[in-house]
Amino acid sequence: MQETKEKVSVLFVCMGNICRSPTAEGVFRHVVTAADADDRLEIDSAGTHAYHVGEPPDRRSQAAAERRGYSLSALRARRVSSDDFERFDLILGMDRLNVESLKASSGAVHHHKIRLFLDYTDGDEMEVPDPYYGGERGFEYVLDLVEDASKGLLKTLLR
């Protein structure tokens, strides 16, 4: 009889859940599907703030993602809840401020789950920059970072 593995659950987090974290969710879902690992992972995204709850990802995030073959259109912003700290095995902040906010709103027992998403790359960047107030190139750069980190994350989780 083959041993069955429990699903690993991953939550991507940025401030408003309309740019970076839904991009990470969409790209990581794509990478996971391409690796035929959908049955092994649970994936979601959320924001540390409730500015955009219920809204779709920023149109510029969606457009940049669409140009690379990722669809974010079905996603809707939500705020991190206290249940998320129990539910998810890995909670990945897009920047240090997100990580600090997550740790401040969770119990110390959950701190080991909270990391920077770019910990899963070999690149020099430590944080995924917020493209919201910048130009189109910022959204492309976010995708570059997220694609790289998604591959590294999947490789780590499937070991």
Exposure string of 19-29, with b = 16+ CB inside 10 Å and e = fewer, is bbbbbbbbbbb
Closest CA to 26 of 1, 53, 63: 63
What's the CA gap between 12 and 102, in Å, rounded? Answer: 11
Kindly give the pairing relationship between strand 90-93 and strand 41-47.
Answer: unpaired
Q: Which residues are catalytic?
A: 14, 20, 130
Kindly give the pairing relationship between strand 114-116 and strand 41-47.
Answer: unpaired
The Cβ-side half-sphere exposure at 133, using a 13 Å CA radius, reads 1
What's the CA gap between 37 and 154, in Å, rounded? Answer: 9
What's the CA gap between 46 and 81, in Å, rounded? Answer: 9
